[in-house]
Structure 1
Amino acid sequence: MIVRQLSKAKQSSRRIVSPDGNWESTRLLLKDDQMGFSFHITTIYKGADFHMHYQNHLESVYCMSGRGEVETLADGKKYPIEPGTIYILDQHDEHILRAFEEMSMACVFNPPLSGKEVHNSEGAYDLDAEKIED
Structure 2
Amino acid sequence: MDAVERLPELCHGYYSNYQFYKAADSVIHVLHLANLYFETQKPWELKKKNSQEQLDAVLYIITETLRICSIILQPLIPDLATQLLDKLQVPKDCRSWQHCETPSWIDGAVHANIQPGKFVLFQRIYTDKKAKKISA
- Name the TM-score, length of structure 2 as normaliser: 0.26
- Name the TM-score, length of structure 1 as normaliser: 0.27
Kindly indicate which of the two structures has a greater share of residues assigned to helix: 2
Structure number with the bigger relative contact order (C-alpha 8 A, sep ≥ 6) is 1
Kindly indicate which of the two structures has a greater share of residues assigned to strand: 1
Larger Rg: 2
